[in-house]
Amino acid sequence: MTEPLLKLEGVHTHIGQYHILHGVDLVVPQGQLTMLLGRNGAGKSTTLRTIMNLWQASAGRISFGGQDITRLSTPQVARLGIGYVPEEMGIFGQLTVEENMVLAARSGPMDDKRLEWIFELFPALRKFWKSRAGTLSGGQKQMLAIARAIIEPRKLLIVDEPSKGLAPAIINHLIEAFTQLKRTDTTILLVEQNFNFARSVGDSVAVMDDGKVVYSGEMATLAEDQALQQRLLGLSLDSHQ
Amino acid sequence: MTTQVLEQNTGFKLSEWIDTRPHHFLLLLVGVLGFLAMVVYSWQHLAGIGVEPTLTAALGKAGSAWVTMTLAGLAMGLLIFIMASGMTLVFGLMHVLNLGHGAFITLGAFVGGSALAALSGMVHADSLLANLAAIALAIVAAMLVAGAGGLVFERLIVRPVYHDPLKQILVTVGGSIVILQLITVFWGPNEIPLARPASLLGSFSAGDIVLEKYRLLAVAVGLTIYAGMQAVINKTRIGLLIRAGVENQEMVENLGYRIKLLFIAVFMAGSALAAVGGVMWGLYDQLIHTHLGDLRMVQVIIVIIIGGLGSITGCFYGALLVGLLFNYLSLVAPAVADFASIGLMVAVLMWRPQGLIPVIRV
């Protein structure tokens, strides 16, 4: 079993008077791409926001590389080497693509080789380098959001629903990009609703329901077991291809 | 109605043009309004002295009057901009409506006044350089004190109410009362005369054109501050962070930046800019008193609303419009000049409720 890079133990989250996470236990193994699946409202995005401490856990423990990060502030969590792409992407629309990237390269000027690698992953970014990010299409914005998160080496990349609202051709491009990212030994945690996407790139999987993780294991195992998919997600992967 | 007809007949969209080229539009507006006002004034003037007014004579007379009043209006507008720039900067990034901003204008005026009193040798020297150095040192002293005051104000007054606009209004007003009382304790309750340095008294004149020396200095300081702010906002990393923070604070934190430190720095800068405005306005009025800042806050709030809440460029143009309109109307229709800025604000709000150059947020 690979060492866990990120571990959530009995994490509860309240937002105002609402109790959203009811004791989440989640392990993200080092060097793997872990898919976090579940129906709408299961608590997937809340789990990611709780890891980043955008919403503070009311109980439980979150550890990253063995260090307890439960009470760290969001910037402190990010500075440990965690890149986060929220569901709404968080693009600074009034800044240019270049300025978005410059801001994300926190430790200094961007590394030219790494930037070239990103341009190979997402060629559109080179084309629109000097354009305002707000003028990009949805797919291009998603590419920028991911590029921004990886402009410096990260120990963990967390992405919330990267394929949401995108055309199939763009989704295939993202699948290719995540496949390449996996080859760089980047540990990735992805929330996704597109099961074809999930099966294409996922190594391990956790399924959430009603604020808890109800299943975790190998992605291949879930992909092959239609009865399990039906029980956990109310549908099978085949019906979504 | 006219705009609609224009748009239907030509396909030209005025609002879109303003959104894409706000600077061109505002400069054109200022130029046209100013020149029309001066033609009307000259017409009135010629009729008043018994000369049969003609358009040619009015245009000839208008030229010099236009230059004189435009400079006066620019100076007044830029003085308002200096005072308002800090408040709009703070609102733009932190979404804090600091109604205690006027207290920092007053604080700056008093600290600057004390510094000028301490530098009386330089102030009264028969040397422009020494005079300007005295004012520069007074401004630096005022900025330092107001910046430090801003740090304390942010920590004690503003930070607990970051996400509650109603409480912000109440506590910042309360905080300003405390600051003004402290000013009374240190400097006393009386008005204090503030003499301008000798070389900044009087005016330059060329024909019918009269340029007051101090107003030239106000224009220079205002333009320098505007250019400096634009350079910091558009050319530096801290400016990039501020622009990103205005749009999406949460994402700035996700990238690993501590936005609270940025908030403190911006609040201190805003307070320091208010202090510069206080020193400059104190020298303009040649009198400082504890209500100096509060009296200016009406104009400050008006230009911020006209320009678009949180917009530095909008604040700049809003202040210029207010300053120029006041000066032009002082000649053409003095009775309405005092209400001109409020009328302008109402007109802008009815036409563009978001202000002339609004800030776009996520």
**A170 and A233 housed in the same domain:** yes
d(CA B167, CA B173): 10
Mean residue pLDDT of chain A comes to 89
Asked if the C-beta of A110 comes within 8 angstroms of chain B's C-beta atoms, the answer is: no
Asked if the C-beta of A90 comes within 8 angstroms of chain B's C-beta atoms, the answer is: yes
pLDDT value at position A69?
A: 95
Q: Which chain B positions have a beta carbon within 8 Å of A54's beta carbon?
A: 250, 253-254
Asked if the C-beta of A215 comes within 8 angstroms of chain B's C-beta atoms, the answer is: no
Q: Report the SS3 class of residue B212.
A: strand
Q: How many CA atoms, within 13 angstroms, populate the side-chain half-sphere of residue B30? A: 24
- Token digits for A134? 């707000």
Q: Report the SS3 class of residue B211.
A: strand
What's the domain range around B210? 70-351
Q: Is the pLDDT of residue A21 over 90?
A: yes
Please check whether residue B290 lies inside any domain of the structure: yes
CATH of the domain at A23: 3.40.50.300
Sheet holding A4-15, edge to edge: A18-29, A4-15, A57-64, A67-68
A7: left (phi over 0), alpha (psi -120 to 50) or beta: beta
What's the domain range around A109? 92-153
Asked if the C-beta of B358 comes within 8 angstroms of chain A's C-beta atoms, the answer is: no
What is the dihedral angle through the alpha carbons of B127, B131, B136, B141, rounded to the nearest 10 degrees? 130
Work out the number of other CB atoms within 10 angstroms of the CB of residue B283: 25
Please check whether residue B276 lies inside any domain of the structure: yes
**A26 and A46 housed in the same domain:** yes
Tell which of B253, B254, B258, B262 to mutate to test the A interface (max A CBs under 10 Å): B254
d(CA A66, CA A47): 19
Instruction: Read off the pLDDT of residues A165-204 as tens digits, 9 standing for 90 and up.
Output: 788 888 888 888 888 888 887 899 999 888 888 888 889 9
Angle, CA of B115, B117 and B123, to the nearest 5°: 95
Asked if the C-beta of B322 comes within 8 angstroms of chain A's C-beta atoms, the answer is: no
Q: Which chain A positions have a beta carbon within 8 Å of B250's beta carbon?
A: 54, 74, 86, 90
**A160 and A222 housed in the same domain:** yes
- Token digits for A86? 């929220």
Please check whether residue A223 lies inside any domain of the structure: yes
d(CA B328, CA B310): 27
Q: Say what the pTM is.
A: 0.81
Work out the number of other CB atoms within 10 angstroms of the CB of residue B355: 23
Please check whether residue A87 lies inside any domain of the structure: no
Q: Dihedral sign, CA of B64, B69, B72, B74?
A: negative
pLDDT value at position A241?
A: 43
Q: Among residues B357, B360, B361, B359, which one has the least CA distance to residue B21? A: B357
Please check whether residue B161 lies inside any domain of the structure: yes
Please check whether residue B337 lies inside any domain of the structure: yes
Please check whether residue A86 lies inside any domain of the structure: no
**A124 and A159 housed in the same domain:** no
**A29 and A141 housed in the same domain:** no
d(CA A93, CA B244): 9
Interchain contact, B247 vs A52, CB within 8 Å: no
**A165 and A220 housed in the same domain:** yes
The H or E element that residue B210 is part of is: strand B209-212
**Which of A52, A84, A93 has the CB atom closest to B247's CB atom?**
A93
Amino acid found at A70: T
Please check whether residue B38 lies inside any domain of the structure: no
**Mean pLDDT confidence for A28-56:** 93
pLDDT value at position B356?
A: 84
d(CA A83, CA B10): 50
The rounded radius of gyration (Å) of the Cα atoms in chain A is 17
Work out the number of other CB atoms within 10 angstroms of the CB of residue B115: 20
Please check whether residue A28 lies inside any domain of the structure: yes
User: What is the distance in angstroms between the Cα of B187 and the nearest Cα belonging to chain A?
Assistant: 43
Please identify, among A109, A130, A153, the residue that sits at the C-terminal boundary of a domain.
Answer: A153
Question: Residue B204 carries which DSSP code?
Answer: E
Q: Among residues B290, B276, B291, B280, which one has the least CA distance to residue B186? A: B290
Please check whether residue B182 lies inside any domain of the structure: yes
Please identify, among A137, A153, A169, the residue that sits at the C-terminal boundary of a domain.
Answer: A153
- Token digits for B215? 């107003």
**A166 and A66 housed in the same domain:** yes
Work out the number of other CB atoms within 10 angstroms of the CB of residue B28: 11
Instruction: Read off the pLDDT of residues B315-354 as tens digits, 9 standing for 90 and up.
Output: 999 999 999 888 888 877 777 777 888 888 988 888 888 8
From A57-66, A160-169, A183-192, A213-222, the region with the lowest mean pLDDT? A160-169
The H or E element that residue B320 is part of is: helix B312-332
Q: Which chain B positions have a beta carbon within 8 Å of A110's beta carbon?
A: none
Cβ–Cβ < 8 Å for A148, A104: yes
**A75 and A102 housed in the same domain:** no
Q: Which chain A positions have a beta carbon within 8 Å of B360's beta carbon?
A: 93-94, 134
**A25 and A37 housed in the same domain:** yes
**A19 and A127 housed in the same domain:** no
pLDDT value at position A12?
A: 95
d(CA A127, CA A110): 18
Please check whether residue B54 lies inside any domain of the structure: no
Beta strand pairing status for A4-15 and A57-64? antiparallel
Q: Which chain A positions have a beta carbon within 8 Å of B255's beta carbon?
A: 78, 103-104, 106, 148
The H or E element that residue B178 is part of is: helix B165-187
Asked if the C-beta of B347 comes within 8 angstroms of chain A's C-beta atoms, the answer is: no
pLDDT value at position B61?
A: 67
Question: DSSP letter string over chain A?
Answer: -PPEEEEEEEEEEEETTEEEEEEEEEEEETT-EEEEEE-TTSSHHHHHHHHTTSS-EEEEEEEETTEE-TT--HHHHHHTTEEEE-TTTT--TTSBHHHHHHHH-TTSSPPHHHHHHHHHH-HHHHHTTTSBGGGS-HHHHHHHHHHHHHSS--SEEEEE-TTTT--HHHHHHHHHHHHHHHHTT-EEEEE-S-HHHHHHH-SEEEEEETTEEEEEEEHHHHHH-HHHHHHHHSS-SGGG-
Asked if the C-beta of B257 comes within 8 angstroms of chain A's C-beta atoms, the answer is: yes
Which residue ranges in chain B fall short of pLDDT 50? 1-2
Asked if the C-beta of A23 comes within 8 angstroms of chain B's C-beta atoms, the answer is: no
Phi and psi of B136, rounded to 5°?
-60, -45
pLDDT value at position A135?
A: 92
Asked if the C-beta of A75 comes within 8 angstroms of chain B's C-beta atoms, the answer is: yes
CATH of the domain at B341: 1.10.3470
Q: How many CB pairs under 8 A join A and B?
A: 59
Please identify, among A103, A126, A153, the residue that sits at the C-terminal boundary of a domain.
Answer: A153
The tally of domains found in chain A comes to 2
User: What is the distance in angstroms between the Cα of A205 and the nearest Cα belonging to chain B?
Assistant: 25
**A76 and A168 housed in the same domain:** yes
d(CA B122, CA B142): 17
Give CA separation, A8 vs A19, A59, A113, A155, B42, in Å. Answer: 17, 11, 35, 17, 78
**A97 and A196 housed in the same domain:** no
Q: Report the SS3 class of residue B206.
A: strand
Angle, CA of A136, A141 and A144, to the nearest 5°: 115
Please check whether residue A232 lies inside any domain of the structure: yes
pLDDT value at position B146?
A: 97
Please check whether residue B85 lies inside any domain of the structure: yes
pLDDT value at position A237?
A: 46
pLDDT value at position B11?
A: 61
The tally of domains found in chain B comes to 1
